[in-house]
Amino acid sequence: MSQIKLLKIFLASPSDVSRERKYVLEVVEELNKSIAIAKGITIQVVSSDSAFPGYGQDGQAVLNTQIGTMKEYDLFLGIMWSRIGTPTARAVSGTAEEYERAVRAYNRYKKPQIWFYFRELKAKLDTKEKLEQADGVIKFKKKVQRKALVHEYKMPSNFRDRFRQNMLCWLSEYLGTTPKPSVSSSSRSKKSSTTISNSNSSITRTASRRKSGSTSTAKKKTSKSSSSKTSSIKSITTSGAWMMLGNNFFSTQSFKHQPDGNIIVHIAPKNSTEEANLRALQPNQYNWSSQIIPYAYQNEAGDLLIQTVLPESIKGKTTFVLTLKPEQRSQGMGMEVSINGYSADQIAELRARLLLLNETPPNQKENYLHHFIVNCDNKKRIEKSIFPDLWTKMKRRPTDFLRQARLAAVYHLKISNTIEHILELKLGLIKNQTMSIRFRGQRKNYNSCQEPCIIEVTGSCKL
């Protein structure tokens, strides 16, 4: 069963680097919406800002208790400029104490990794207190440098760019050395893929031995091979390179998030119909609002604005390059309420069952409950499962249907504010006009003191 891998970062710093702290959160949010979610991980930042009031030996001791052990974190991120911070009973400052805790954990458990950034000391030091604080930073920096490679920067914007680059390198290294989440169906899928490959090799050898045979026999072999490929796909857990744009689906050549937040997609149309559908996406200078359309790719989805659709032709082969801008409001309005004894999480689960299984919500006569199940924001309304109508159009292509149905499900689950992250979405082979479904999704966590709710739905949808 696939799971989202949580990477935890502890952010430690005095109060004079608030802009850098803000940039940390922005970069992490950017990564969570791009490379992280695409690779099945999510990054969480914990800092003193997450603390709540408490009582104990002293304020820092209370904070240490809330932070937990440093071995729980994958990365310790320290930032300093001209202030060392407030002394504690155990160290020259709270930030220094948190650093020392991280060092002890690393020496014993080899985690967390420790990064420290120092901004150049060009602050106005016109009081004795400021001079003492800056002197504390200089001494602490020398201590850190005895064991660590630190990064220095001039301006907060320089820190942002350096931190983003360092995070991308760190995630690439992490993803390159860490095995993918174990999925019970993945081994079967891999085995199925090997069987297909061996079958194709066998057919190729047979065709070679019978090269002198009739052309019609060779064509029959090819036809059987193609049919075997389709029938061997019994279930899917990913939509692969397919992408949903509006009411159409395309197989992409590449999908890339840009630093400015835009998405660049390359699509080579397979036929004239796909080419016409792509050209129709070109923004109309007189009606830009009509170009805000739904999209889904792998496990991410939302609404986006079509900025440009540019065809390129190489040796007669046309490829379209699309520049897309995701809309920030694409996750719905978040109507999180409890009604008629049902919590917001229970209402979200009922909505998921309606979407995936076409399961009629209970207590239809209780209008308030039904209202919050089917109404997600001012424009989105979930009345029934999205699968039967799509099956009517595509039942002659069951493999394509599964991929496209998965994309449509990802979009509706996210845009309806039902879940924030897809942990697993497996669609099974259609049999007797019925499709099997297994789904796990993580709800958005509005309370940092509690674990996020996980919604699970298993069953079948009558097509």
Tens-digit pLDDT profile for residues 245-300: 988 999 999 988 888 888 999 999 988 888 888 888 887 644 444 568 899 999 99
Give me the pLDDT at residue 219, please.
46
Give me the pLDDT at residue 39, please.
75
When pLDDT is cut at 50, 70 and 90, the band that residue 24 belongs to is: very high
Statement to judge: residues 365 and 441 lie in one domain: yes
Statement to judge: residues 154 and 202 lie in one domain: no
Give me the pLDDT at residue 206, please.
40
Is the pLDDT assigned to residue 218 strictly greater than 80?
Answer: no
Statement to judge: residues 55 and 140 lie in one domain: yes
Statement to judge: residues 410 and 426 lie in one domain: yes
**Mean of the pLDDT values across residues 191-200?**
38
When pLDDT is cut at 50, 70 and 90, the band that residue 101 belongs to is: very high
Is the pLDDT assigned to residue 75 strictly greater than 90?
Answer: yes
pTM of the full predicted structure? 0.50
For 207, residues 6+ apart whose C-beta sits below 8 A from its C-beta are: 218, 221
In a domain, 337, yes or no: no
In a domain, 350, yes or no: yes
Tell me: the pLDDT tens digits for 313-348? Answer: 877 788 999 999 888 654 444 445 666 667 888 888
At 237, which amino acid appears? Answer: T
CATH of the domain at 59: 3.40.50.10140
Q: Judge whether 417 and 335 are in contact, CB under 8 Å.
A: yes
Q: How far apart are CA 238 and CA 383, in angstroms?
A: 25
Statement to judge: residues 248 and 188 lie in one domain: no
What total number of domains does the chain contain?
4
**Mean of the pLDDT values across residues 79-84?**
94
| Domain coverage including residue 408 | 344-462
Tell me: the pLDDT tens digits for 350-384? Answer: 888 888 998 876 655 455 666 667 666 545 667 78
Statement to judge: residues 262 and 126 lie in one domain: no
Between the ranges 72-81, 436-445, 449-458, where is the mean pLDDT highest? 72-81
What integer best gives the mean pLDDT of the chain?
A: 78
Statement to judge: residues 11 and 157 lie in one domain: yes
Statement to judge: residues 403 and 438 lie in one domain: yes
Please give the share of the chain, as a percent, with pLDDT higher than 90: 27
Tell me: the pLDDT tens digits for 103-161? Answer: 999 999 999 999 999 999 876 777 888 899 999 999 999 999 998 889 999 999 899 98
